């Protein structure tokens, strides 16, 4: 289904990373590791008091800015993703691959934890300490593109909206009315809570389009978030949770409060969880997408609704843009 052009106005391309000042002599090498440009030593987080603490804070702020702009540059130049502005009155951006919103193919949606991690990052601290493979979303983008899937990277930590609001605006303004045939979602931390909030508010559309949800060290709770019984059953059948654990990756982890299938992420460190379970997540998603039936195209849904306006719709998806004024 074609999405109106004015709904996808492009933002200017990101500026190249600024040259760090002499007090910040680090660069990314070809393997994506942040190393001292003279000694080759990795970046070390330091604490201090007084003037040392102030200097350390300034260095971390410069580091965060450098990492953010470097990742955005790689998304644009190496992976040919583009930034789309959310339709007004919403504010914010979404990074998408070419044709991701027009193709009837598969789409991977990435949603990070709450905090300061921007588009393309799971954890900027993990990037600083372990490199782009350890903390960025680029390995997920790479694997998805190898599988022939489109990708959409959200930016829930941009100022102006909560993660729940950002995801809802992106869903209503860009994703729900796009042409993607099957959607898989990978969330980290608070991103899982935001997705469950979307499921509670848009249950029919989410259940119709989304085929698999990977919750990585997720903050969501089926016991405390207002989901219907049908939505809970759907989520249990279409999701898997990777939890922090010292057990080997993908081993079952039991819990009295488990709200669905959960397995070990293979690590006890939350910032390392997305990278640790990358391959397990994609194996799960690929299997779920192969088993899922193709959703009903939007034009068929809309046409059938318009031909039977005198009768209330018996389930299924809402017509395109029906959520524009919902909160």
Q: What digits encode the pLDDT tens for the residues 34-88?
A: 998 889 988 877 666 666 677 777 878 888 989 999 999 999 999 999 999 999 8
Q: What digits encode the pLDDT tens for the residues 210-268?
A: 999 999 999 998 878 889 999 999 999 999 999 999 999 999 998 766 677 899 999 99
The residues, any chain, with a CB within 8 Å of residue 78's CB and separated by 6 or more, are none
Banded model confidence at residue 104, pLDDT cuts 50, 70, 90: confident
Is 326 or 209 the better-scoring residue by pLDDT?
Answer: 209
In the chain, where the domains are located: 80-304
Banded model confidence at residue 321, pLDDT cuts 50, 70, 90: very low
Q: What digits encode the pLDDT tens for the residues 110-144?
A: 999 999 999 999 999 999 999 999 999 999 999 99
Is the CATH code 1.10.3470 the one for domain 80-304?
Answer: no
pTM comes to 0.82
Cα→Cα distances 207→104, 200, 235, 306, 320, Å = 17, 11, 9, 22, 15
The two structure tokens encoding residue 199: 């499921």
Mean pLDDT of the chain: 83
Whole-angstrom Cα distance, residue 275 to residue 115?
A: 18
């Amino acid at each position: 289904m074609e999405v109106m052009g004015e709904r996808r106005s492009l933002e200017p391309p990101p500026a190249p990373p600024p040259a760090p000042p002499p007090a910040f002599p680090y660069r990314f090498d070809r393997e994506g590791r942040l190393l001292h440009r003279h000694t080759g030593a990795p970046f070390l987080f330091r604490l201090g008091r007084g003037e040392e603490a102030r200097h350390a804070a300034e260095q971390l702020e410069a580091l965060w800015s450098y990492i953010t702009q470097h990742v955005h540059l790689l998304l644009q130049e190496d992976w040919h993703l583009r930034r789309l502005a959310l339709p007004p009155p919403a504010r914010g951006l979404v990074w998408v691959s070419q044709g991701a919103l027009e193709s009837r193919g598969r789409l991977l949606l990435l949603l990070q934890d709450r905090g300061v991690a921007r588009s393309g990052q799971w954890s900027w601290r993990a990037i600083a300490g372990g490199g782009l493979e350890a903390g960025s979303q680029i390995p997920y983008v790479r694997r998805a593109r190898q599988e022939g899937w489109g990708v959409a990277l959200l930016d829930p930590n941009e100022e102006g909206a909560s993660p729940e609001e950002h995801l809802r605006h992106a869903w209503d303004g860009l994703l729900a009315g796009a042409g993607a045939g099957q959607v898989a979602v990978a969330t980290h931390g608070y991103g899982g809570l935001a997705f469950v909030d979307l499921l509670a508010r848009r249950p029919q559309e989410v259940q119709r389009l989304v085929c698999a949800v990977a919750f990585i060290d997720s903050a969501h709770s089926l016991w405390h978030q207002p989901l219907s019984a049908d939505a809970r059953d759907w989520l249990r059948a279409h999701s898997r949770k990777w939890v922090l654990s010292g057990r080997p990756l993908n081993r079952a982890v039991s819990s009295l409060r488990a709200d669905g299938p959960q397995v070990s992420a293979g690590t006890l460190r939350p910032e390392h969880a997305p990278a640790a379970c990358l391959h397990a997540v994609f194996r799960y998603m690929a299997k779920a997408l192969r088993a899922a039936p193709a959703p009903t195209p939007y034009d068929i849904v809309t046409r059938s609704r318009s031909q039977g306006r005198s009768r209330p719709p018996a389930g299924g998806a809402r017509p395109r843009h029906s959520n524009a004024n919902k909160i």
